[in-house]
Amino acid sequence: MKNVLIISSSLRKESNSEALANEFARGAADAGNNVEVITLRGKEIHFCQGCLACQNTQKCVIKDDAPLIVGKMHDADVIVFASPIYYDEMSGQLKTLLDRANPLYPSDYRFCDIYMLTSAAENEPSTPERAVNGLTGWIDCFEKARLVATVFAGGVNDPNEIQGHPALEKAYSLGKNV
């Protein structure tokens, strides 16, 4: 049994990327894992100040919702990031959270396996590449971590438009096989 943390970064209710997150969560739970889904919607997450105090203390000096989420990231075996694609990149809220996860760098974090789930109105196979590259840059800073797989749902824009999209089945399957 693994501790699976899924972070949904869409601020839209019933978003397509959150539907992917929920399907991954359902698969992981069906396989008997401990699963927690966190949405960044409604969370207060400020920009990193670059003070680097966290490199000595493993705690961020900013008092908002990020330290609690980063603590959950620290203790997870598997982290799944779900993001809408905006202008060929991950959501700003997800990028801000990744920057705020700097206290993890010098720590004895648990996570090894990372997944990325994305959705976009565009349907080109290259649409998620920059978002995946951005996440890979973050993962490269953690020698125990690796990007295991990605799922992209293209051609979906409106809330719940993803219903029936084959990416949902793929997200469930990945979760089931964590």
CATH of domain 3-176: 3.40.50.360
Domain positions in the chain are: 3-176
User: Looking at residues 127-141, what average pLDDT do you find?
Assistant: 97
Q: What is the pLDDT of residue 47?
A: 98
- The answer, as to whether pTM is greater than 0.85, is yes
> For 10-62, how does the pLDDT look when each residue is reduced to its tens digit (9 = 90+)?
999 999 999 999 999 999 999 999 999 999 999 999 999 999 999 999 999 99
Phi, psi of 104 (to 5 degrees): -70, -30
Rounded to whole angstroms, what are the CA distances from 32 to 50, 142, 150? 39, 27, 22
> Count of H helices and E strands in the chain?
6, 5
d(CA 88, CA 104) in angstroms, rounded, equals 27
Give me 35's structure tokens.
Answer: 């699963």
